[in-house]
Structure 1
Amino acid sequence: MGEPPGEPPQQAPDPVAEAFRRLPRAGFLPSDQRASAAVDAALPIAAGQSNSQPRTVAAMLRLLAPVPGDRVLDVGSGSGWTTALLAVLVGPAGSVLGVERHPELVAFGRANLASARLPWARIEPATPGVLGDPSGAPYRRILVSASARRLPAALVAQLDDGGVLICPVGSTMTRVRRDGDRVRVSEHGEYRFVPLVED
């Protein structure tokens, strides 16, 4: 016998899509790029860096799978868009630290983040010669928006037990999960990113 007719099954909400709706990309782009905000392509911001393709950002966030209350490190925060999206995903019970090497992007990202009114997220200048934020570790989630030459052991070491790192290695999107002393690595497609400054 079939099920009686009724309401169609409800689809689970997509937190990443909700975060995108809440924080349109245009608000995190230079004024001369805002007309192109809906284009699914990387767009230049400053210092030779780019605001990543929205489809790529969404894929990375879904692989990272942050949840409310997580502590997150955003390596290469750029325009501040990923930092802000992460802040929406972890909510006020969580926290997000974006680190950025280029001073003009630190200022730009901070201004954009202030407009988004997400006080549990902040952007700080990266410490020269230091990758990530070892003094603030461990982090439950780490997102890297630049391509590393090899899997950065320094960032894996900053993961909490059960934590997840998403980082492009070469052109391959790489997901790392740390369970105690065990590190599990999986690959998730080919992408193009600016190079990660690792030293």
Structure 2
Amino acid sequence: MPGGYREAMDKVEQAFAAVPREGFLLEGDRWRAAEDAPIPIGHGQTNSQPTTVRAMLRLLDVQLGQRVLDVGAGSGWTTGLLAHLTGPEGEVVGVELDPRLARWGAGNVAAGGWPWAHVEEAQPGVLGAPAGEPYDRILVSAGAESMPTALLDQLADPGRLVVPVEGWMTLAVRQQGVDEVTTHGAYRFVPLR
């Protein structure tokens, strides 16, 4: 196994240990935090399956000090995991379309003690957070019908974007103006709106 992949695995496992899932679940479901399954968080959304989140974070390969956009932040769990991976030198912007989830996710992230990360309500009709572009990394926790060009437009060069497209986990790696797109297994997500 290449050293870089092993290092990414270690960083991701450290993030999971530092950002416990139960703090991002509804109170009545916190006992389910260890389940390797998506868990409903209300408003038609779920807290994603841990195995899926691990796979996405490994593909994203977040480095200390990077600026990261978390699309479909929901309860704020992925925003917290990303904040751990960027460290205080970085910045994480989580966006969530449902205003109730955005408020809850913002509170969860604030309670986690990562002042360099926050969750905000997404602007209706606007994908991502273009006012803060470019982002070194973009994570999308909702399924797209096609590669979201609006998010590619917000990606730095070099940069990495992870998004489920038509049920396939898709990685876009931008290097010197060229985007290399690969797929990494089949997954199910709520639709990207």
Place the TM-score, normalised by the shorter chain, in its bin. Answer: over 0.9
Q: Does 1:196 align with 2:162?
A: no
2:71 equivalent among 66, 75, 80: 75
Q: Which residue of 2 aligns with 1:52?
A: 48
1:134 equivalent among 130, 135, 140: 130
Note the residue ranges of structure 2 that are not aligned, 5 or more in a row. 1-5
- Once residues 74 and 129 of structure 2 are traced to their aligned partners in structure 1, the CA distance between those partners, rounded to angstroms, is 16
2:103 equivalent among 103, 107, 118: 107
Aligned residues: percent identity? 55
Structure 1: 4+ residue segments shifted above 4 A: none
Equivalent pair of 1:46/1:104 in contact (CA under 8 Å): no
- Per-residue Cα deviation, 1:172-192 (whole angstroms, up to 9, x for no partner): 000001123311100000001
Counterpart of 1:45 in 2: which secondary structure?
strand
Number of residue-to-residue matches in the alignment: 187
Q: How does 1:18-33 map to 2 (within 5 A)?
A: 18-33=14-29
1:116 equivalent among 105, 112, 123: 112
- Per-residue Cα deviation, 1:54-111 (whole angstroms, up to 9, x for no partner): 0100100000000000000000000000000000000000000000000110111011
Counterpart of 1:184 in 2: which secondary structure?
strand
Note the residue ranges of structure 1 that are not aligned, 5 or more in a row. 1-10
Q: Does 1:158 align with 2:186?
A: no
Counterpart of 2:88 in 1: which secondary structure?
coil
Bigger proportion of residues as helix: 2
TM-score, normalised with respect to structure 2: 0.95
Say which one has the larger Rg: 1
Amino acid in structure 1 at the alignment position of 2:13: A
